[in-house]
Every structure is written in structure tokens, then in C-alpha cells.
Structure 1
Amino acid sequence: MALACALGAVAALGQAPWSLWPLSIAAFAGLYGLYIRAATWRRAAWLGLAGGAGYFALALSWIVEPFLIDIARHGWMAPFALLLSAVGFALFWALAQGVARALMPGGVGWMRGAALVWIASLTLCEALRGWLLTGFPWAQPGHALIDTAMLGWSAVGGALPLTALVLGAAVALWHVARGRRLMGAAALAGFAALYAVAPMLDRAPAPAADAPIIRIVQPNVPQEQKWDPAYMGFHYDRQMDLTAAPGTPDLIVWPETALPVLLNRAEETLRDIAAAARGVPMVLGVQRADGARYYNSMILTDGAGRQTALYDKHHLVPFGEYMPLGDLAARFGLRGLAQQYGNGYSAGPGPQMMDLGALGRAVPLICYEGVFARDVAGAPGRADMLLLLTNDAWFGEVSGPYQHLAQARLRSAEQGLPMIRAANTGVSAMIDAAGQITAQISLGEAGYIDAALPPPAPPTPYARTGDWPALLLLALMAIVPAALQRRKNRTLPTA
């Protein structure tokens, strides 16, 4: 169990910011070797739990950061949050390996099919992790390939094939290490061929000479200062100075919850911001009230500071932006970490489209929504770009912000759409339709970039079909080898 846990932790080094994807594949090869030697499905499940716990403990180590913002109130929760998260998400790996071993109980030649069943089961359970109880598809094994040419394959099948490719390469490596060189070498050669072909899948059009210029403002406000009256004026003035800097952008974008007052009381503030912007339209992250309900929102304003479009975040962070069973939790003094009012934010109506006039139509996303492919795909019609506002000050400065950025790149590559990404503390970036960063502001810096907006690509295969083809193929990978093995076992003569 200890070895499985350690291998899981090593496998997590494939995630950003480390991006050691070959080491991650090698660690998954070790985990597969432990799985294949498990005599029972129970043993396989326990190994999955141990490996998953090690993996998520490192990959999601940033999860303690929000609890350290107000350490006097929430600091005691940090170790429990990490432990429960690591073990909770490891349960999906336990389920995957237990089911895979139950489907393939053994028999003559069973290891050939066992590899496919293990790859399919683990990938399908990672898909389940992204859906169950609102979902949390963060740090999937396939995300280790986002910083490689293999990102191009996400345009074909989304994130799930990337996970299957990581696991498939791991199985192949294990076979080579165990002396089964022909089978393993053939599979590794297939992986290398897919890697070589991947750059050909880049269909991002070249930017036009007269492309619109987007100013992305990054104020770099530490979370512990964000709502402190002693600092709010300083940080607001900094945003105004960055907005008023020389240049002639076509749109100026502020990050999540950048407005220091509720939208309901911001009419004069919006006029002042419009004056600083010299009449340039703006997108701003705001908070607004509607009676007793509060929303984490995004607005578009015209050159006079008048609101012309509104989007309310609909995919909220449980325990962060709202408390499940909030009234009951409030009796025990528990509040969402990010909330400022009541029992937290209310959810908006769902994915929408924001009309940016001559710039085109954008899918608005706020923070956490950018990690869900379905939140991007759920918007009505085909957009020209993705528009993401976030406050990654919650994620610390080690791994969380970089993993969040990587998933933003994945969303662009999946859909073939550029992304404007404005982050409070970074990394703010312009991302093209192939998921490549064309301009950025580094983590922990205050500043702005005037970046050309890349054009969209034609709809990708994934944009047309979503996850269904990959899910169907994975289901067949799990069911067919298991059925053939069981049939073989029944027909073998017994002594």
C-alpha cells in the first residue's frame, strides 16, 4: 500500500507546474504492475485507493491555500480538507480498479485484455469524477499532456482520450520492463506516432493584421487584502491606472469580482471607470444583489459605463461560494470561503452567450467554470471566443494557478476557440484556438497586456460530438475484452 501511495504521488508530478509527464507515465506503469498482481478485486481496489490518495494529495496540495487566507478562522480545516479530498477522490480509483479486476478474474491469456479493461475503467471513473455531485475534473492524468503536442488530440476527443493515452503508454512501458518487448514496443510506437501526428491537428488560423486588441488588466490583489477597507482604495486606483494606460484597445477586461462595490450601487463607479477607459467598452467581474440573493457576475459596459450585458455564474464552488445545506451549516458558524454575504452566492440560470458587438460572441466563464468542458459546450450556438474571469489568489502561488491555466488551454483546444483570460493575481493570458498562449502576465505581477485577439478555428470534432464517442469507445474497451475472456474461461476444458 505504501508503494502504491508513493507511486501515486510521483504520478502527480505530471501536472502543472512540474509537467514531468514521462515520470508520470513511469509511475502509472508501476501502479499498473501492482494492480495486475492483485489476486482479488478487493486487493485491487485497496491499491487503487492508496495510489489515488498519494496522487491527489500532491496534485491537489493547493487546496489548503484558501483555508490559510484567514488562518485564525479556517486554518484548522486545511489538513482535514486535503485529507478528505485526497481520499475522497481516490475512491474513484478504488472503484475503477475493483471493477476492472472483477471483470477480468483471470484465465489463460487474461493479461492482454486486462490492460484494456484497466485503462478503460480508470478513464471512465475519471469521467465520473467530473460529473458526480457537481463534479471536480481537476488534475486528471491526461492533463499531464497539456503542455505537449498531444494537446492537439483534445480537439478530436476531449480530455478523456488524453488520460487513456497516458495510461496506455504506462501499460506499454510495464510490458517492456517485464520482458514482453514486442507487445510493449508496439504500443509505445503507437504512442510515438500519435505524438508525431499531433502537431498536424493544429487548425488555429493565423491572426489577422487588423485583429482586435484586448487589454487584460491584472491588479494582483492578495486575497487577504481584497476586502480590507485599508487596502481597497489602493488596489482600485491601481486598476484605474492600468485601465488608463496609453494605447487604443478595442476592449478592456477586469478579472473576477474586481469591482469594489455591489453592482446595485456602482452607477457612479462605472462612469468613473468608463472615463479612465476613455470610452472603450469593458468587461468587469462584479458582485450583485437581487433581493436576498447574491450573484458572482460578469458585466459588459459601453463607452459611457452603462451595463449592456450580464452573466451570473451558475456552476458554484461547494464550500467555497456556497454551503450545501447552508442554513444548517450557518448554525455551526460555517460559511463558504469566498462568500461575502448570507449563506453564499446563488447560481445563475446556466451557460449563456455574451454579445460583444463587432468583436463577436463569447462564452462567459467565471473561475471554476473553466474546468468543465460541459459548461463551455452548454452555451447556445457557436461562439467566437471564450471569456474567462478568475481570482486565482485563492489557489496560492505554487501549483493551483498553473493547473487552472492549463485547463483553460485545454478548453480552447477542445473547442477550437481563443480565450481571453483575466486573473486577479495571474496568470492572465491570451490563448489561441489551439490552446497555445500568445501573451501573458506572470503570476504575482501587477500590470496589463494589450494582446491581439486570435481568430476562432472551424468547429472541432469534439465541439460537434462532445464526450460521447470517447465514452462509447471506453465502454467497449471495458466490456468486450471481459466478455471474451469469460467466454474463453467457460470453454476451456477442466482437468
Structure 2
Amino acid sequence: MTAKAVSGHRALAAAALLGALLPLAFAPFHLYPVAFILAAVLFLLWEGCSPRRAALISFVFGFAAFAAGCYWLYISIYGFGGAPIPVVVLLMLGGFVLQGLYLAVAGYLAGNLRVESRALRWCFLWPAAFTFVEWLRTWVFFGFPWLGLGYGQIDGPLRGWAPVIGIHGVSLVTLIIAGSLLTLIRGSRNDRLVAGLALAVVGTTSIALYDREWTVAAEDELRVGLAQGSIPQDRKWLPEQLRPTLQLYGKLTFTDADLDLVVWPEVAVPAVADRVQGYLDALDEQARERGLQLYLGILTRDADSGQYRNSLIGLGQSRAEYHKRHLVPFGEFFPVPDFARRWMRSAGLPSQDTLAGERAQPPLPVGSHSMAPSICYEDAFGTEQLDFLPEASLLMNVSNDAWFGDSIAPHQHLQIAQMRSLEAGRPMLRTTNTGITAFIGADGRIVARSEQFEIDVLRASVRPHTGSTPYMRTGNWVVIVLCLCLIGFGGYLTRR
């Protein structure tokens, strides 16, 4: 079967089905072998296609994958954002079309890499093209790193590659396996020998890396509590809800006298800091008396511009601040012309830009250690946490996945956080408003987790980690340069 054999609309229907099945490779389904199968069939659909035809097939695949895997965007845009239906449809279709266009670029590249050897195409060149485009979509046009193929391997046999070559490296290895399996089935004798060798190298290396420890646990432990207030999103910002929210988080913080650190979720305090300064001062004093370090999410106001910032502030043993650097487009800032912003204001829609924090910010202290902070989906951008490493010995993410209700989004987000821990060889403290709050080990495995939509203080003893993983030193550049070299080599052979 190729796109020529499955001609016309049937090939596009097959691509749509493949894309719609892709979310099964990720949390909460965890069917990681699905990624190998779907990628192999996609490569088969590319076979024999013109660049434009391969691009169209890939566009349909990408559109369907993100429509099925990120349907939950409508919950935040419509359910909580209150946007009119036409705006919801426009934003969601626009987002899915954009993601489809990224994949179309991968298909177009693959269609231009028409070397004679199937093993070279399927095992190396096409995986490189796909991986390169996956990297592009993490930063071009604001970036949206969801559904990177490597995330599905967090519980699979390829997990050991993450501390060495990162998420995109895991994606590349996933695609090499997919291409090799296809070559074993459809390739010539010589092609099958190459594919078998590729699988042997990947397999033995995966075994060697599987439980390799790159960082070292400290001798001391931190007793940590992660507060999950589970405030319904539709009530969080009601004026009458402010006092009960403050009382609840205060109670969750100080009921256990044995904790060294307590972390509240993103904007756990639904107010601007200068409006609740008395409450914050009281928290600070009480935390100091108990020898406690407290970090809480709150809005702060920039003194110069007057704009709001999405912030983490530290109280108690150390006073510190972190301001969110990577803002959510159409959520925290609106890249639209002035006339559109005026219309949004007149329609009662959010239109005010949040101020992004500076790129260079110090890690947050906790005792003799420090933490690499991230807010919301900042933890989806793996290289951004490298700014704090190797100095930071812990990772910390605060989020509010209540925006997406009881959908698959919180599970996907937790899986992304697991990858960040695995890449850095650092435990992560992850607290969210309605779940899934979790302690993640330095090996990327979940140590403890809360139930969703329950009030809880998740407690655990955590050992900070020091040292560096190979990925921490090189970031994505090893994989991206390798992909570019393979694409360039394939282009050279095609035109020779």
C-alpha cells in the first residue's frame, strides 16, 4: 500500500484516521507502540508521492492529530473564556490548520528526498525531516510543543535517550524505529539488512541507557507539601470567593508543622499582590516563625508599566520572585491589530496583555538548594529550564489545568512534566489548582500524585539532585544539526 495504491480521497481519509489515532500514544492512554505503527504507515503513504501530494497527506494527518488530541482547547476558550461560537471555531480551526501546515512542511521535505534506497529514506531521511519540523513548531509562531512523538515514550523502552538527546532526540529514535520496521516489511534484502542493523543499534543503546543515572542525589531531604485547593474555575475570580480561597490555602499550608517547603498553584491567590499585601505579610511572618519556605502563585503589577505579571513569590525563610517568561498567546497576550483589540473590548472579551518576565532570572532558593521554576505551559519548552541548570537542584512547576476540565489535557501536561525531569535528572514539584498535582522523580517516574478535583496537600520527602545530563550541556542542537545534515545529504543525493 502506498499513496498511489490508495489513491485520491482514500489516501487522505487514511491520513485523517492515522492522525486521529495518534493521541492514543500519549497520556492518559499510554499506548506508546501506536507511534511506531502510525509513523510507519504515514511513511508508506508518502512513498511515491510528489512533494505537494505528500504535503497534503501530512497536513490532513496533522490537522486530525491536533483536532483529536487538543480538542480540550474549546473548554477554556468557550466554557471559561466565554468567547462567541464563531470566535471559538475560528481560533480552534486556525490553530489546527497551523499545526497541519507544520506537518505539511515535513511531507514536502520528504517528497523532495527521493533517494533510491528505501532504507535511507525510511530509516533516516524522513525521520530527520519529521523531527526537524517538530522542533520548528515548538518556537515558530509562538510555539506549541504538544503531541511531540517522544513524549509518548516516557514509560517505554526509549526513555533512557531523553537525558542524552532530549525530547526531539526521542522523537527521532521513535521515527527511526518506525522506518526500520517498515523497511523490514517492504524493503529489498539490502534494505532489510540496513534496517536490522539500525534496530540492533537502537535496541542495544536503549537497553544500556534505560536506567542510567546521570545525576547524584543530595544527602539531605526536603519535606515538601504541594497544596491543591481545587477551586472551580468558574468561581475562582468571583469577589465573594476571595476570602474562602485565602482561608483554605492558609489552612492547607499550616496544618503540618513538619514541612520545609509548601508550594501553591499558579495564581492560587486570585488577586493582585498589592491588594492583598496585609494577607501576604501575615503569611510571611507565620512562615518565618515555623521555619517554612512558601511559594505561591499570584498576579503582581509592574511598577513602570502598570501591567500585570503572572508570578511566583517566595515568603518565609527567603523572599524571592519569579515572573512567567513564556506567555500563552490569546490567553495572556493578544497578537492582534488595534482594531481587533478594540472589538474584543467592546465584546467583553479579554484583551489586555500580561507583561512577560525577563529571560534572565535567578533560581528560587529553598534552604541550601535552589529550584528551576516554571509557570503553566512553560514546562513544555524544554530548553528554557536549562537557563537555571545545573545550579538548580530541583524543578518546580505551578499550573492551573482547571481551564481544561475533566479532559485529557491535564494528563498530557503531567506527561510533559515527566519528560522535563528525565531530561534534567532533577525531581519536579508540580502543583496545580484542580490536579494533577504530583511529585516526579529524577528518573521521570511519578512518585506520588493527587486525585483530580479534590482538596489535598500532597506530601513527600524529596532529595535534590546535582550534576549534569548530556542534554543539559547540549540542548537540542545535537539532534537538530544531525537532522539538517541528513536532510542536506538526502537533498544532495536526490539532485546528483
* Aligned twin of 1:451: 460
Aligned mates of 1:56, 1:372 — CA distance in 2: 18
Cα gap change, 1:166 to 1:451, in 2 (>3 Å): same
* Aligned twin of 2:173: 165
* Alpha-carbon offset, residue 354 of structure 1: 3.0
* Aligned twin of 2:356: 347
- The AA in structure 1 aligned to 2:120 is G
* Aligned twin of 1:313: 324
Instruction: State yes or no: 1:267 paired with 2:287.
Output: no
* Aligned twin of 1:402: 411
Instruction: State yes or no: 1:296 paired with 2:304.
Output: no
Cα gap change, 1:464 to 1:336, in 2 (>3 Å): farther
Match runs of 1:222-371 below 5 Å: 222-274=232-284, 277=287, 279=290, 280-290=292-302, 291-302=305-316, 308-325=319-336, 327-333=338-344, 343-371=352-380
Task: Select between 412-421 and 183-192 the one with higher mean Cα deviation.
Answer: 183-192
* Aligned twin of 1:54: 64
* Alpha-carbon offset, residue 171 of structure 1: 1.2
**Which residue of 7, 17, 25 corresponds with 1:6?**
17
Q: Please tell me whether the aligned partners of residues 293 and 366 of structure 2 are also in contact (alpha carbons under 8 angstroms).
A: no
SS in 1 for 2:234: helix
Aligned mates of 1:332, 1:322 — CA distance in 2: 15
* Alpha-carbon offset, residue 119 of structure 1: 0.7
Match runs of 1:99-114 below 5 Å: 99-104=109-114, 109-114=116-121
RMSD, aligned CA: 2.5
Aligned mates of 2:61, 2:345 — CA distance in 1: 32
Cα gap change, 1:260 to 1:326, in 2 (>3 Å): farther
Instruction: State yes or no: 1:421 paired with 2:402.
Output: no
Aligned mates of 2:194, 2:323 — CA distance in 1: 52
* Aligned twin of 1:144: 152
Match runs of 1:114-153 below 5 Å: 114-115=121-122, 116-153=124-161
* Alpha-carbon offset, residue 337 of structure 1: 11
Deviation by residue 1:89-131 (Cα, 9 ceiling, x = unmatched): 1111111111222132x5xx33232222211111001111111
* Alpha-carbon offset, residue 260 of structure 1: 3.1
SS in 2 for 1:83: helix
* Alpha-carbon offset, residue 151 of structure 1: 2.1
* Alpha-carbon offset, residue 72 of structure 1: 4.8
Aligned mates of 1:456, 1:329 — CA distance in 2: 48
Aligned mates of 1:334, 1:91 — CA distance in 2: 31
* Alpha-carbon offset, residue 314 of structure 1: 1.5
- The AA in structure 1 aligned to 2:311 is S
Q: Please tell me whether the aligned partners of residues 374 and 398 of structure 2 are also in contact (alpha carbons under 8 angstroms).
A: yes
* Alpha-carbon offset, residue 454 of structure 1: 2.5
Cα gap change, 1:398 to 1:335, in 2 (>3 Å): farther
* Aligned twin of 1:491: none
- TM-score w.r.t. structure 2 length? 0.89
Aligned mates of 1:338, 1:454 — CA distance in 2: 45
- The AA in structure 2 aligned to 1:168 is I
Q: Aligned pair count? A: 477
Aligned mates of 1:333, 1:272 — CA distance in 2: 39
Q: Percent identity?
A: 31
Q: Please tell me whether the aligned partners of residues 363 and 373 of structure 2 are also in contact (alpha carbons under 8 angstroms).
A: yes
SS in 2 for 1:284: strand
SS in 2 for 1:80: helix
* Aligned twin of 2:384: 375
Aligned mates of 1:324, 1:472 — CA distance in 2: 31
Q: Please tell me whether the aligned partners of residues 27 and 152 of structure 2 are also in contact (alpha carbons under 8 angstroms).
A: yes
* Alpha-carbon offset, residue 276 of structure 1: 6.2
**Which residue of 8, 15, 21 corresponds with 2:26?**
15
Aligned mates of 1:486, 1:53 — CA distance in 2: 31
- The AA in structure 1 aligned to 2:492 is A
Cα gap change, 1:34 to 1:75, in 2 (>3 Å): same
Task: Select between 323-332 and 291-300 the one with higher mean Cα deviation.
Answer: 323-332
* Aligned twin of 2:36: 25
- TM-score w.r.t. structure 1 length? 0.89
Cα gap change, 1:194 to 1:77, in 2 (>3 Å): farther
Deviation by residue 1:414-458 (Cα, 9 ceiling, x = unmatched): 122221111111111122222222222122221012211222142
Structure 1, unmatched stretches of 5+, are 488-495
Aligned mates of 1:397, 1:241 — CA distance in 2: 26
